[in-house]
Amino acid sequence: MTSEPLADLPVHDLAAASEKRRRLVLRLGRIGLALLAGVGAALAHPPFGVLPGLLGYPLLMLLAEGSETKRGAFWMGWLGGFAYFFISCWWVAEAFQVDPSQAWMAPFAASLLPAGLGLFWGTALALYRRFAPTGVIRVFVFAALFCLLEWLRGHVLTGFPWNPAGASWKAGSAGSQFASVVGVYGLSFVTVAAVSAFAPLLGPGTRERRAASALIGAGVLLALVIGGMIRLHGAKVELSPTLVRIVQADVAQESKWTPEAYQGIVDRYLNLTARPGEGGLPDVVVWPEGALPASANQVFADGAPEATAIARALQPGQTLLMGLARAEPSPKPGAPDRYFNSLFALHDEGDGPGLRVSAIYDKYRLVPFGEYLPLGDLMGTLGIRSLVHMPSDFSAGPKPAPITLPNAPRVQPLICYESLYPGFTPGGGARPSWIANVSNDAWFGRTSGPLQHLNLASYRAIETGLPVVRATPTGVSAMIDGWGRLVPGKRLNPGESGVIDAFLPRPAPATLYGRVGDLFFWLAVLAGLAICLPWRRLAQPGTGRAT
């Protein structure tokens, strides 16, 4: 059988084939642009710092507007989100390389996490496609809906607030300083709205209005930078008399779990703790989360050699902050013990042997699939608990609150994951003098993860005006001032072993964000929703899009 020559096909069949090819090319092009938008937005974050990548947000806005259906807009958002979170979170796969028996899960972790987080971006674009009004005001609506879904990403099932758009500005830079007024979520709204104001240049409307939108967006970005420069110009760091030592022993996660390695790890921390310092005797020594591969019940048991050795390494009057897991009996009779990820404050009174536990802080915000299994009963029934090797969950502690130390100002502990969350440090009269962030980034090796974690934790300093003491086993450990800047010379990078001795900076002036929290963010989001909802009532089905 011979095929019919193309020239002999009817004209309408030729037109249909040509239209089919055109639509396929258009669809592939839109997929490519959505992926490009997510890649660009991800590369805007440290350590990459490609700030023009922020134009990925207006590109997603245009792709949503060009979608024929809400479903099409959803897939544009999901593709963009998948690319964004794949680049932002690929380092999670590194944690599965620590245990060779779990290495097979690494590709699934690297792909399933961005696939799930991309649902939030897809939902944001679908809602925008349905509710957005016409005209340049739609920029405000896009920013409101997008940032509302970003806030939900940071809170659903305890949330995963990694790399919100506002954290694209390197912490401590001029562009990051507006977080002292509106927080990182408010800065996300301002950033997304400002860059998305360039989108109308490629859309409908009069030339004057499109140009005005772009000029307003450029003006907002310029104001962010100039305002931040003014704030930093007036920043005067004053040092308190409290000398802090941050200990980074550079213990790789995969080398912790053998009996032969245990004593060597203990010795590393003790030797670094007892090392003579140039600035005098440290008042506070900070060990990271998970410094010792043992529980507090083991370390502080009667006759335990570890407790005796730690007491010998400390001098009278010193306080040690160290992260350890601990177990305690359940308050319910017959129930299994409860487990907490805790920070212990140990003080040497100097009037006898041993150490006194002056305070215990229990981690409040736990890591999903790392410290607890969301929907645990259901996941256990499905067999997920055995796959992730979690025989039981950690218990969450009470809501974060500062603790009092015998020889140093009041401090707000934040354990690892908690440093991603704004609002955990009180302002007003309950405001502490500093934040102690202990973390175990050794799970993620020399990837972008620890560097981005440092950037995100530094935003807590900008929001509160409080210095942050950050201690990790393998880096990055650092002293951060109240403007989110790393104190010069007070940083240990991944792979380095040593101590940081630094006088604790005094708090910067109290911030507006510290007093009112996310008030401005919610006002902006509600204003965006108020703009779009009346249009939903007036629009006929299928016409609620921006044209």
Which residue shows structure tokens 């000029």?
215
Of 396, 350, 390, give the one whose Cα is nearest residue 370: 390
CA distance 29 to 234: 48
As to burial, measured by CB atoms within 10 angstroms (0-12 exposed, 13-18 middle, 19+ buried), residue 38 is buried
Of 65, 94, 150, 289, the catalytic one is: 289
Q: Tell me, what DSSP letter sits at residue 389?
A: T
User: Is 416 annotated as catalytic?
Assistant: yes
- Residues 251, 210: contact at Cβ < 8 Å? no
Of 203, 74, 187, 182, give the one whose Cα is nearest residue 137: 203
- Residues 272, 232: contact at Cβ < 8 Å? no
Of 70, 170, 256, 363, the catalytic one is: 363
Of 371, 416, 418, 463, the catalytic one is: 416
437 Cβ contact list (under 8 Å, min separation 6): 413, 414, 415, 416, 418, 419, 457, 460, 468, 469, 470, 471
- Residues 482, 507: contact at Cβ < 8 Å? yes
Of 265, 239, 54, give the one whose Cα is nearest residue 164: 54
End-to-end CA distance of the chain: 49
CA distance 448 to 94: 11
Sheet holding 356-362: strands in order across?
A: 356-362, 338-347, 319-328, 284-286, 239-248, 498-505
CA distance 76 to 507: 44
Of 352, 361, 251, 248, give the one whose Cα is nearest residue 296: 361
As to burial, measured by CB atoms within 10 angstroms (0-12 exposed, 13-18 middle, 19+ buried), residue 5 is exposed
Alpha-carbon Rg for the chain in angstroms? 26
CA distance 283 to 411: 14
CA distance 472 to 291: 8
Q: What is the DSSP string of 291-318?
A: -SSSBHHHHTSTT-HHHHHHHHHSPTT-
User: Is 289 annotated as catalytic?
Assistant: yes
Return the active site residues.
Answer: 289, 363, 416
